[in-house]
């Protein structure tokens, strides 16, 4: 990360997680089968996201199966297509074309309305494509750490509107990031508009 990159304070991250939980999506129930995988991602394994096309890594199905994450399949596609937020985090990988990875994150709630699951899908730039290399549940503590350590590249408007003193700027990598607004001092909870350079979801 650039040294002058703006990050969330712990208090801001706590507020963001609270907003994500307030707007949590119902956890989709989908069995991990080749048929369901193809139904979700198509034969080409690609989905459209707010930052463009993402291709599922070629071993993602087998990885989820081997690690006993079959019950999480239903959370993968909505996390990529309608994320609550996208975090940009420094990570230098040998086969990647960018020194950062993107964490698509979304909060779900079980059908009984009693348990939250914070889910992330991790992507890297490879062969000119954004490629998903991992998708899994993370703890609330881990989510808090990721939000404070990385840059916020995108935030869902309905969630951003709950945090009226923030607005989106661009960081040095060309991805918009979330910084405290110096202009917003009102308390009318109207919020500020998301930058036109950010695709709304």
What would the DSSP string read from start to end of 8-74? --HHHHHHHHHHHHHTPEEPP-----HHHHHHHHTTTTEEEETTEEEEEPTTHHHHHHHTT-GGGHH
Token pair of 141, please?
């503590």
Domain-wise residue ranges, the chain: 10-153
SS3 167: strand
Per-residue model confidence (pLDDT) at position 165:
53
Confidence of residue 111 (pLDDT cuts 50, 70, 90): confident
Burial class, 190, CB count within 10 angstroms (exposed 0-12 / middle 13-18 / buried 19+): exposed
Specify the range with the lowest mean pLDDT, choosing from 24-38, 93-107, 160-174. Answer: 160-174
Per-residue model confidence (pLDDT) at position 6:
60
Q: What is the mean pLDDT of residues 158-163?
A: 74
pLDDT exceeds 60 at position 35: yes
Q: What is the mean pLDDT of residues 49-68?
A: 94
Cα distance from N-terminal residue to C-terminal residue, the chain: 26
pLDDT exceeds 90 at position 182: no
Q: What is the mean pLDDT of residues 48-58?
A: 94
pLDDT exceeds 80 at position 11: yes
Confidence of residue 93 (pLDDT cuts 50, 70, 90): confident
Contact call for residues 6 and 154 (beta carbons, < 8 A):
no
pTM: 0.78
């Amino acid at each position: 990360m650039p040294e002058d990159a703006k990050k969330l304070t712990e208090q801001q991250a706590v507020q963001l997680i609270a907003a994500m939980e307030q707007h949590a999506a119902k956890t989709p129930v989908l069995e991990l089968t080749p048929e369901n995988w193809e139904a979700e991602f198509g034969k080409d394994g690609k989905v459209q996201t707010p930052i463009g096309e993402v291709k599922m890594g070629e071993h993602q199905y087998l990885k989820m199966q081997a690690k006993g994450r079959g019950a999480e399949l239903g959370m993968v596609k909505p996390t990529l297509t309608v994320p609550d937020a996208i975090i940009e985090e420094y990570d230098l990988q040998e086969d990647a074309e960018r020194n950062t990875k993107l964490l698509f994150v979304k909060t779900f709630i079980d059908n009984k309305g009693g348990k939250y699951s914070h889910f992330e899908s991790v992507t890297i730039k490879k062969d000119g494509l954004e490629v998903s290399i991992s998708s899994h549940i993370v703890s609330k503590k881990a989510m808090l750490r990721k939000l404070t350590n990385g840059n916020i590249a995108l935030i869902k408007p309905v969630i951003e509107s709950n945090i009226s003193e923030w607005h989106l700027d661009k960081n040095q990598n060309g991805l918009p990031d979330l910084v405290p607004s110096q202009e917003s001092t009102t308390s009318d909870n109207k919020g500020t508009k998301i930058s036109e350079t950010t695709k709304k979801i």
